[in-house]
Structure 1
Amino acid sequence: MDNATLSKIGTIFYALVIGFFGINHFVYGTGMQRMVPSFLPGGVFWVYATGTCLLLAAIAFLIDKQVRLAALLLTLFLLLIVLTVHLPAVLNAPDNNARRFPLTNLIKDTGLAAAALLLAARRS
């Protein structure tokens, strides 16, 4: 299988994962609003807004339109979430058991940001 085919398959898988997370923002929005940093007013609005952004990025990847822009914006978004949501949760966890879930999310979103950056780089 050539690199172009592998890249397309990988992009489709990645888009499906990102789309899944976007849908989760709508399905579990009220539960996710507690993760919105306290310095941001609006609570659940941000969950739905970011869910919309995730879905739009997934669609851009699937229809192969504005992929570089969508991937760069997704990278920025994911790194902001790592720094403003997951890292504070890791640092403020009372013990190692409470630290497991936010640390997993920090690593997951860092990996997803890296993949988005790779996708953007392939579209230069």
Structure 2
Amino acid sequence: MNEQTISRFAIILLALVMAVFGIYHFVSPQNLITYVPSFLPAVGNLWVYIPGAAFILAAVAFITNKKVKLAAYLLAILLFIFVLTIHLPNFLNGSNIEYRQLSLINLLKDTAIAAFALHIAANSSN
């Protein structure tokens, strides 16, 4: 396998993960609504559905190889927003050690995925 094939495989794998995350946001919003920062206005599940749609749209862009650069940059921004507004505060202010550990894992996961998205964007021609 050449590097281009391996790179394309990695991007499609990320797309599948993003699609699963996105679908989960629509299937089980009640499990995610507790993570919505309190400074956002309460509008039902909208704050869960928007990132879910963003994850699905990023997955579609990556799989179809259309608007990849834009999708990857927007995905990275979204994930960094999650890190700064959800995971970091939960890590710093968690009520118990297990919750803080889970928050740290999510912080590192989203940072790593955002870094991969930035790599995709920087190397994409479309």
TM-score bin, normalised by smaller chain: over 0.9
The within-5 A match list for 1:1-124 is 1-41=1-41, 42-124=43-125
**Residue type of the alignment partner of 1:11:** I
State the aligned residue count: 124
1:82-118 superposed Cα distances (whole Å, 9 cap, x missing partner): 0000000000013322211111111110011011001
Q: If the length of structure 1 is used for normalisation, what is the TM-score?
A: 0.95
Question: Structure 1 residues 104, 43: closer, same or farther in 2, change over 3 A?
Answer: farther
* Structure 1: distance between partners of 2:98 and 2:30: 24
| RMSD after superposition | 1.0
8 A contact 1:22–1:51 mirrored in 2: yes
Gapped runs of 5+ residues in structure 2?
Answer: none
* Structure 2: distance between partners of 1:34 and 1:86: 12
* Structure 2: distance between partners of 1:61 and 1:19: 10
Return structure 1 stretches of 4+ with deviation > 2 angstroms.
Answer: 94-98
Question: Structure 1 residues 43, 35: closer, same or farther in 2, change over 3 A?
Answer: farther
